[in-house]
Amino acid sequence: MRQARFTWKGAFHHVMNRGLDGKFIFDSVDLKKGFLDLLKEKSEKLKIRIFAFCILGNHFHIILQNSSGEMSEFMKVLSGTYGHFYHRTVGGEGYVFQGRYNSTIIENESYLMNAIGYVLANPVRAKLEKNPFEYNWSSIHECYSGKTSDTIDNHFIEELFGGFDELKQCIYKFIKTELPVKRTKFGGVYGTDGFYEAALKKYDRRKRSEYKHFKRDEDFDFTPVEQIINYFENKYQVKIDSIDTRTRSGKQLRGELLVLLRDRSNMKYKEIGKLVPFFDIHFSSLRGLYRRMAKKH
């Protein structure tokens, strides 16, 4: 019996799979385009957020969020449908991919940034290009284009990095650097030393999570902001407008609220900055605060 995947709703992941026996299963424009079309279609249908992708000759990389809890089904449908498409295009029969996809769970946005940089650096790592921005089959051109991508959540990525130079620096950092991934029986884990233990506890109690009573948003399985605030105020017995952020305890509460709003409702930093506890923090500084607080969870 296969071991269940290490995941939960809202978890970030780096997933990849390659052709059976290393076979080049994306060795034409038509094949790459076909896979990309399926990626757009299936992620929209199963409400999986895509942050980055890279399609190479014999394998693919995708950075995604298990936003609907249907990551396993998404990967099954994506790989299976592409297998049929591949055989219709080039002929033959049998398995196309080497087997079950590889999955690495990512701790938080700080590590997510590195994972995105790593994936977008792959064409240079594979010696297909000297400049990652010259490769046509990754999501590298879909950020900072002034347009809304129909495949990735490029607006989230642009807010995450803050600027094009930050994204570029992150990509080049991983041209010769590997991601330090911990291998477990549940799959890869990318994060701090304590993340595996904390994530394992969260994974084990996923069916009895304190959030199970939340009503989800239909779009990406996120919780409406009003429910998050109501939950927070009931848990800590404090109205968010009355949090005294001049005190240590107030700052801690503000940080807790920030993590909830980002992770559970997917609010943008500019939107969070309009709430009273965050009035005195510039939205660009909220990224740093979130990363510091997220490491404690």
Q: Give the alpha-carbon dihedral of 121, 187, 220, 160, to 10 degrees.
A: -40
Structure tokens at 258: 């920030």
The answer to whether residue 269 scores a pLDDT higher than 90 is no
Q: What is the CATH number of the domain that holds 114?
A: 3.30.70.1290
Lowest average pLDDT, out of 46-60, 242-256, 278-292, goes to 278-292
Residues above pLDDT 90, as percent of the chain: 60
Length of the chain: 297
Residues 131-181: tens digit of each pLDDT: 999 999 999 999 999 999 999 999 999 999 989 999 999 999 999 999 999
The answer to whether residue 250 scores a pLDDT higher than 60 is yes
Last residue of a domain, one of 148, 180, 199: 199
Task: Using alpha carbons only, give the angle 130, 135, 136 rounded to the nearest 5 degrees.
Answer: 170
Domain match, 181 and 242 both? no
The answer to whether residue 198 scores a pLDDT higher than 80 is no
Q: Is residue 205 part of a domain?
A: no
Domain match, 76 and 105 both? yes
Q: Is residue 267 part of a domain?
A: yes
Domain match, 32 and 111 both? yes
Q: Is pTM beyond 0.85 here? A: no
Domain match, 189 and 150 both? yes
Pick 220 or 87 by higher pLDDT: 87
Domain match, 62 and 146 both? yes
pLDDT score of 262: 85
Tell me how far apart the alpha carbons of residues 113 and 244 are, in angstroms, rounded to a whole number: 32
Residues 47-87: tens digit of each pLDDT: 999 999 999 999 999 999 999 999 999 999 999 999 999 99
Q: Is residue 6 part of a domain?
A: no
Structural domain boundaries, residue 104:
12-199
The answer to whether residue 216 scores a pLDDT higher than 80 is no
Last residue of a domain, one of 172, 199, 226: 199
Domain match, 90 and 111 both? yes
pLDDT score of 205: 59
Domain match, 192 and 266 both? no
Domain match, 277 and 161 both? no
Domain match, 168 and 229 both? no
Q: Is residue 4 part of a domain?
A: no
pLDDT score of 23: 94
Q: Give the alpha-carbon dihedral of 196, 152, 290, 119, to 10 degrees.
A: 50
- pLDDT bucket at 2, cuts 50 / 70 / 90: low
Total domain count, the chain: 2
Domain match, 224 and 263 both? yes
Q: Is residue 216 part of a domain?
A: yes
Q: Is residue 204 part of a domain?
A: no
Domain match, 64 and 171 both? yes
Q: What is the CATH number of the domain that holds 253?
A: 1.10.1750
Q: Is residue 109 part of a domain?
A: yes
Reported as type and span, the H/E element at residue 18 is strand 12-18
The answer to whether residue 208 scores a pLDDT higher than 60 is no
Helices H / strands E in the chain, number of each: 11, 6
8, 83, 87, 108, 250 from 21: Cα distances, Å:
31, 15, 16, 33, 56
Q: Are 294 and 108 in contact (CB under 8 A)?
A: yes
Domain match, 183 and 230 both? no
- pLDDT bucket at 203, cuts 50 / 70 / 90: low
